[in-house]
Structure 1
Amino acid sequence: MADILRIFKRDMCGIFRNVLVLIIVIGLCVLPALYAWFNIYANWDPYGNTGNIAIAVVNLDKGWTKNDSETVNMGDGVVESLKQKDTIGWKFVKSEEKAVEGVKSGRYYSALVIDEQFTYSMYHGVADNIENPRITYYLNDKKNAVATKITDSAASTVKSSINKQFIKVLAEQVFKETNVISDDMKEKDAVGQMTGKLEAVSESLAQYDAMIDTFIDGNKALSQVSKETGEALKDGQDKLAKGTNRLEESKNDLQSTRQSFDSFSADITSALAKVKSSIDDISKQISDANLSQDVNTIQSDVQNIKQSADALKGNIDTLEDKINKIKPDMDDTHVGTLISNIELVKEQTRSMIESTLSVDLSGKTQNSEETLKSVMSALSSTASAVNDTYTSQIVPQVDGMISSMSSVLDSMQTTLGNLSQTSGSMAQVFDGVDSTLDTLNMSMTQLKGVIESASDKINTTLNRLEAASEDEKADIIVNLLSGNPEKLGSFFSEPVQVSDNYIYEIANYGSGVAPFYTTLAIWVGMTILVSLVKVHADAKGLGKLKPSQLYFGRYLTFFLLSQVQTFIIVLGDLYLLKIQCVHPVSFIVTGAVTSLTFSLLIYSLTISFGDIGKALAVVVMVLQIAGSGGTYPIEALPAFFRAVYIFFPFPYAINAMRECIGGMYENTLGKCYITLLLFGAASLVIGLVIRKPFIRLNHFIEKRMEDTEML
């Protein structure tokens, strides 16, 4: 321990004895803080300056004149409303062409164009063949990615505001009409008539309610049928797919049969040619009267005829087997004729073989020349008959049948493909029908609730009318129909009020990003230190020291400088920028723990792997900037970062600082501290254990880099 402190003391003396070195060290301590402070301040309240984002607004609305000759222009109302809102830099332009050109040139981030029939559509929204009130939105995505999101939000706000106004207008019109009716009732004795109308309305509502129940039940039954039909179609699709596969196998088998037949046909033709050649040779020798002299040659030719005939018979038998295999898929009439012809060829071939057996010339001539000529003539006739039958009948029939079957299979494949496509389309149709029925049932259920509510109110009124005196009945009906149109319109335009309840509220965006930029600055500060300050302590003048003593002796210097950097950063966050911080003391402690972990990790990487370790520290920093969840939620990042972020220290340091800034939840801060200290322990393993095998390699790399006279 004493030797470690001696190294540390020598380093401190070296810093404070040299004024220039001291100034550089002070600069190294302040520089990371500037990095953090500038970034936090730049992001302090970006959405508070959205008034500088220009959005063009064009009002083409012509307005509309109501029955009472009052002219209204809702487009002008929208423009006046936007003029009172300074959250966006609204620029009011006269023509749509100028607005669009401004968006293209980048002068405006986006543009809103109010349609000519805007007011008319607002007041006639429930009439037939009337389009919805329209505002056209032009957007330049190229100019700035974040700005377009802000303008999208502004456009959505305008749309929401107009939708509220639209509903409010309709509701006001309805309730103004009911007020007119109630005023008329005050002047006329129409209680009896109105009571009758209410009873009729009550009965009609009851009928509508029953009709809706029937409609919903019918839809449910239809939905069930649709689901069953869709499932049946999907099952049919599976069977069609299997049938298509089997059909493809049949086509392959047929192609194989064609190839086999072509091979057999070649063999049969070759055998017939050999038979005919041998017969011609024997006939020539007999005609030349050289029978006695050429007995051996003739006997050899006869033997060749027999062998060729035997081969021919074997090929014919094989052909017959092939035909029998594909027989179930062929026309019985054609197959019967084909097999009959094959049997004829087989019989003719057997006759040929028997004729050759009657020729025996071994040793002497047992048959006269005339007899031999007769036999040869018969053999020649039989061979010709076999050849004619095969070439003129069997080959064309087999080719025709295979071609016919191939056409049939192609047609079946096309048909199955069409069926599969049709069934797939029908399955999608039934899925859409099922979804539509569900939506329709939901709408009908909501309508049923409205009708039941109105029916209950009317029935309650009728019961009160029945029990009331004649003088009270008029007041009851007037109260039913009367109301404040503006108040009721406001209610229907925004019936639900959302109450915001912030948990761990952050005062501004700068305070929200402070954990990320503070953590990043601590890492950057330590990276700068290992780049400018030597990590290897010189043992000269200190005696023989262990590598671990040299490691900790120099690390104490880096630890102290990193802690000073961090202390300046967090104090500036708290008292210069005045970020929100619920637990400032814990925030300072968190910075110290983060500094300890980061300094150990970066120092160990550098001392163990040299310049490669410095590069690794930069690579790890880049990965953590992109995938630590410091700016965007980790759930919104690509799958790679979601998978690896837990293996880096940044997320735990950032979360610990968030606990201090926004408020603590149970023992989250303690868990973050423990995880950071585990990273520190792993860093010690790198610096004290893993480092040893790389000492010579690092020395070799450093020497080679020095040899370049550049690094």
Structure 2
Amino acid sequence: MKGIWGRLRENKLFLVSLIGTTIIPLIYGGLYLWAFWDPYTGMRNAKVAVVNLDAGSVKDDQAYNFGKDIIDKLKDDHNLDWQFVDQNKADQGIKNLAYYATLTIPADFSSKLLSVDGDSPTTASFNLKIRDTNSYFASKFIKSAVNELARKLRSEVGKKYFDNLFVNIRKIGDGLRDGSEGAYKLDDGLKEAKDGSQSLFDGIVKFKDGLLSLKDGIGDLFGGSQTLRDNVDKAYGGSQTLMSGISSVSSGIHNIATNSAALSLGSVQIASGVASLSKNSDLLLSGAVQINDGLSAVSSEYLALSGGISQTQNALSQISQSLGQVNSNLSSLASDYSASPPAKLTETITMLSSITDSVNQLSGRVTSLTAASIKIQNGIGQLSTNNSAFVAKLGQFDSSLNKLSDNLIVLSASNQSLAQGVARLDNGMMVIESGMVSLNTGLHDLSTGSATLADKLNEAKSGGDDLYAGIGTIQDGSKTLTDGLSSAQNGSQKLAGKLSDSAMDISNRSAEENVLKKTGVMADPLTVNEEHIGIVANNGTAFAPYFIPLSLWVGAMSIFFVLKMPTKRRFSSAILWLRSQKTYMAALFIGVIQAIVLPFVMTHGLGLPTKNSVRLYGYCLLLSTMFVSIQYLLIRVLANVGRFAGIILLMLQLTSSSGTYPVETSAKFFQNISRFLPMTYAVRILREIISGGNLSITVTSWTITVRMVILFMVLSFFSTYAFPKTRNLFRNHLLVFLERV
């Protein structure tokens, strides 16, 4: 024991080696725990590019942009270092290893999320592009993070889908229920309209029958007016003849009265005149009797005509009232419609209004005819009275004439009495002549009025024909309307039944052709389209780029547990110096064998896939050469301390090369030293050789590796030569440092 402590006091390098060996487990465990203390939290430093191309969408006058909503959520999410960039920068970044992945939200993202309510529901999706060769752990973590994001968004969207679905189903049910109630109300209204239409049809039938009777009555009245007109014309002709005879008689009597002084002288002439007068008196009496008969006939016909006019007036009044009631019923029927009334009903109302106007015009004409009839009736009455007086006076005249004839002798004897009688006769004839003028005027007015009456009755007959034809059209239209309302009522009953059934069975009968699509989209409204760059098949493939340089480093360390290191000395020739390199060359040879055996066993024994086997073997040879050179140089310069330094370098590289977790998950110390250690570039290049296949992105790593190989080989070659003034220089400085410590 005393010997050991004495050796430790004398050999400081041995003491350092012993202390280093003692703390190796502490360094190993401490570095690993420090580097990988919380890699999941450290993933917040892993950069992932996010590209939002969502153009948004509009639904129910409301704008939606779910892509922007996702961006807002990611800004508050710190599981990853989300970088919000454009598409070009994202593509370049994942290509040159600036980003571990890119998440792209497509332009139709919002429209697809909203498409579930349309005819072509479509599942929306993210586009996730991951470079597995950058870090297998990072790709798994990013994939889990994006899937978790998709799950949350899927849950929110699904909730909105089902909220809208149930709200819409409730609205549809309410609408169908309202539609069913409206259909039943429509059915009741159509039933009432049908009953009203039937009543209208029955009223029109009765009106048509009454109108037919009116038409026939007007026809008969028109025929009677023609007969009246003919008889009045005959009476007017007789009155003209009578008036001519009376004028002659009056003129003769006047002459007699004027020449009464010569009467006595012309008794013979008087007798002759009296005979002539008696003859003319008979004619006059006969004409007066004919006039009286004609007036009686005219009076009878006119009474019938007056009754027909009254009947016509009453019928027209009833027709006008009936049409008004019908028109009112149809207008009320039209107002019952919530929308526009049927065209046939509107046409019927218009036609009834036109017919009502025609009936009112006809009624006005009949009223005018009634006034004219009253005038004619008064004229006939006056004419009849005058004619009766004329007949009476004519009878008196005839009686007087007979007496004159009988008493002609007396006349001759009593000229004075005759003169007086002639004077009275002259006066009577003047009265008769005046009455005949009135009679003639009345007959003329009666003739004119009867012609007007005939014309008006003819117009009334034509209007009655048109009215009858129009009522026939209305009857046909009313029947068509009744039939249509009956069909509409049947249809409304079917509609009410269907709406009621639909309201009760809405869940089974709504959009059956799209229900599978909609439920599929609603169940999974969002998917993640993954695109892997450099697919890593499994964990073994993922860790191979990490374990290959680790194995070669450990292999290089183990070589120098077997080979003995030569001493430094000056050589007199280059040949002797080259011969001194046999230990280094032997170490390189063993390293080459290790570099060949390791990938061979991995590819053929373990089935490790590789994009290019030649590059794999070549790069393993390059790594083995570099690692052997580094170990040789450390031991050559530092002896056993160099072995300890090799172990420390191994642990530093294992914790900072991104072989397991991305270096961004480690402390800043490991991130800073990572770029100075060869295993960092070895892991990066081997990932592309084994899984990626894109060596263009590792040109820098290749260049650095080659430069390191050349540097450490050159240093190893010259480490065996003892240069003047530098022999054991490093060793002496280290001993001085330890002495001071």
For the superposition of Structure 1 and Structure 2, which TM-score range results when normalised by the shorter chain? 0.3 to 0.5
What TM-score do the two structures reach when normalised by structure 1? 0.33
What TM-score do the two structures reach when normalised by structure 2? 0.32
Task: Report which of the two structures shows the higher radius of gyration computed on alpha carbons.
Answer: 2
